[in-house]
């Protein structure tokens, strides 16, 4: 991989991490779960959610977030989220690790 490709890949990763930190507004709780402040999917004030997200009875924990990041449209059928998901499982794990460290 060339330097330029590595640089672009790192830039893309940083942007993705920043986007998810803003969108999910998560925090790292003392019991080692990744949770949104409101806990449930589709309940963050000031953000427009699809009916599918609002009606999904999911609590954002590490496992649910991991599954969602791999394939959002499969995890929440009917979601309007344009994010296609992360192709590699280790990318989801890396993003969750980053979110934990950024919100500790």
Whole-number percent of the chain with pLDDT over 90:
5
pTM reported for the whole predicted model: 0.59
Burial class (CB in 10 A: 0-12, 13-18, 19+), 46: exposed
Distance of CA 6 to the CA centre of its chain: 23
Residue 26 has pLDDT above 80, yes or no: no
Residue 13 has pLDDT above 70, yes or no: yes
CATH architecture of 22-102: Orthogonal Bundle (1.10)
């Amino acid at each position: 991989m060339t330097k330029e490709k590595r640089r672009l890949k790192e830039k893309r990763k940083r942007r993705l991490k920043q986007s998810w930190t803003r969108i999910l507004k998560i925090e790292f709780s003392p019991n080692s779960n990744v949770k949104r402040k409101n806990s449930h999917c589709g309940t963050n004030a000031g953000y427009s959610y699809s009916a599918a997200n609002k009606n999904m009875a999911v609590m954002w924990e590490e496992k649910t977030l991991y599954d969602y990041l791999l394939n959002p449209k499969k995890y929440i059928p009917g979601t309007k989220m344009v994010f296609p998901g992360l192709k590699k499982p280790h990318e989801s794990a890396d993003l969750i690790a980053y979110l934990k460290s950024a919100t500790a």
